[in-house]
Amino acid sequence: MTSKMKAELFCLHCNKDTPHTVIYAGNTLKSIKCSNCGSEIEIRRDKLIENYAVDFIERIFTKPYRMTRELEQDLTKFILSLPIRIITKPYRIAKEMGEIIKEEQD
């Protein structure tokens, strides 16, 4: 999933703090653009995919722990949501990966 956020950062071109747009692909930084002068720093495609892969693998390894915490916090909610999550998870992963690959082709 691609997300945008606004941040006040120091711009090397403007030589002062200015508003910037920060874009993430999943949890991975994709680009930072100065709203004042338009200068942009973009992460190379190969590095973006590499960082996404590392993040994805970490999410896989921590999933059992996160699910155990959910189970301990609210057993009923966990049991009721599990069938839907099992069915929709492959779609959500494919959508997330598709957005990252699509973003890089634009």
Contact criterion met (CB below 8 Å) for 45 and 52:
no
Q: Give pLDDT, residue 105.
A: 52
Share of the chain above pLDDT 90, in %: 55
Is residue 76 predicted with pLDDT exceeding 80? yes
- What does pTM read for this prediction? 0.59
> Please, which pLDDT band fits residue 103 given cuts at 50, 70 and 90?
low
Q: List phi, psi (to 5°) of 22.
A: -110, 125
Q: Give pLDDT, residue 36.
A: 93
Would you state the structure tokens that stand for residue 82, as one six-digit string?
Answer: 């599990």
